[in-house]
Amino acid sequence: MSNILQSLIDIVGDKGVSNAPEELWFYSRDPGVLAPHKPDFVVAPKSTEEVQKIVQLAGRENIPVVPMGNGMSLAGLVIPLKGGIVLDMKRMNKILEVNAMARYAVLEGGTSQGALKAYLQKNHPTLRHSLPDAPPTTTIAANVSLHGQGRLTNQYGFNSDMVTGLEVVLPAGEICRIGSPSIGPYWFSKGPTLPDLSGLFLGWLGSTGIITKVGLKLFPNKKIRDVELFVTDRADLVPKILYKLTHLEMLEDINVWFQPKPQMFLGNFHITIFFTGDTEEEVEFIPGLIEEQKQDFMSDLADLEAENVEDSLGTQTEEMEEQVEEMPQEESELDQEQEPILAGSEMSLETEFEPEESPGESEIAETELVSGEEISEEPTEEFDEIFPGSEEASKGIDNLEEAKKLLTSGEVDQSINVFKDLIKENIFLEDIISNIQNALDHHYPINIDLWKTLGDAFLKNKQFQKALDAYSKAEDLLS
């Protein structure tokens, strides 16, 4: 190993190579959770020619080589599982060219995102590149080699789609240029009248070659940048919202995110919408288009909810018809016999059904003396047999009272849970509706969950239009 160390020193100098334990410890891991593995050497080249010589040496000595940008991957991409050489590209950090007219930049393989952004802001403030939501020290070559995304991905595709040319050192040590730089001095395209061979390296995470130079598209840097936020608690709506927004083809970036803390974010999905413009009029025009898309989405959602209600009603009707068809024939015939009697009878209930006279007090006393037992106020087994479900009904009343108390004391979420259980059991719907409406009218007019629970109660009570109105109110509050 000493002769290999000396060979590496001959290539990059003694300050560009190390096998010190503390250095190897650092380069044996990444910020992720995968197990570390130490390399044998860490080498930091400063030119394409040095990278070529290192790769040729590793090929002769059968030593693995792992190229590394800034080591910020969380997936173990730079952990040297077989030891060998970790090739740290950070010293190759020059911005070689910015062609403002053709809108591209040429960078060395270790140039960071932050370095290019700072350079453009200082020297070419009208230009920008697709900056990823990653630490500014991450390198551009590493980002395109794993098909990374950036703030302009919504408009122009992956950052690897913005590559305009490559210089790569192949595993055998050859230097290869891809695209327009292979036939001339300009880096304006990765495939001019030639087969696009960039796919041999982009997305391969450095396993097919080491990127030493990369050409990258630049884009107009707008003067004004603004943002809007769309929030929903239904994950199934997010793809539909994104479809509506991307249909505009005018938004700079769209981020979907969610987090459990703080409590106000729990259960909600946030869609952050970024848009840019050069004038106030342009920036004010785009939110109007976003609002139109939002209204179209809400209209489509209302139609969808109406269809769901109709489908639910149709399903319930079919089930009722099936139950009628399955009724015993004798019972149907009995109904047919009774129907004309009931329909043609003009006798009042008082004359048709005269209640029997109640027993006198002496008879009751006599019964108590004979039995020798006191009349119990507690329900008996015989009572439960005559009135099945009475215990459940009593429990339901208790739950309803509990929900009312919780709602009155401000514990809305807990009361909603109790109301939902009662709605599932299809009991006390009118009481539930009355209590929730009162709470919405006087205390919690913008509580989305209360509006949804009211819609559930209306739906269970077969008040379909009111259910749709309640659901629509909830969606309006979400937007």
Over residues 238-253, the pLDDT tens digits come to 898 898 888 888 899 9
pLDDT at 421: 86
Name the residue type at position 250.
M
Phi, psi of 136 (to 5 degrees): -65, -15
Give 313's pLDDT tier (boundaries 50, 70, 90).
low
Q: Cis bond leading into 262, ω under 30°?
A: yes
Residue 105: count of CB within 10 angstroms of its CB = 26
For residue 198, count CB atoms less than 10 angstroms from its CB and return exposed for 0-12, middle for 13-18, buried for 19 or more.
Answer: buried
Judged against a pLDDT cut of 70, whether residue 90 lies above it is answered with yes
Q: Is 219 helix (H, G, I), strand (E, B) or coil?
A: strand
Q: Give pLDDT tens digits for 175-215.
A: 999 999 999 999 999 987 778 999 999 999 999 999 999 99
Give this prediction's pTM.
Answer: 0.62
Q: Give pLDDT tens digits for 265-287.
A: 888 899 999 999 999 988 888 88
- Is 76:139 a contact under the CB 8 Å cutoff? no
Judged against a pLDDT cut of 90, whether residue 15 lies above it is answered with yes
Judged against a pLDDT cut of 80, whether residue 327 lies above it is answered with no
Domains contained in the chain, CATH given:
2-88 (3.30.43.10), 95-220 (3.30.465.10), 225-300 (3.30.70.60), 397-479 (1.25.40.10)
| CA-wise closest residue to 478 among 312, 310, 305 | 305
Judged against a pLDDT cut of 90, whether residue 87 lies above it is answered with yes
pLDDT, averaged across the chain:
83
Report how far apart, in Å, the C-alpha atoms of 473 and of each of 71, 292, 470, 477 are: 49, 18, 5, 6
pLDDT at 463: 86
Judged against a pLDDT cut of 70, whether residue 339 lies above it is answered with no
Q: Give pLDDT tens digits for 19-73.
A: 999 999 999 999 999 999 999 999 999 999 999 999 999 999 999 999 999 998 8
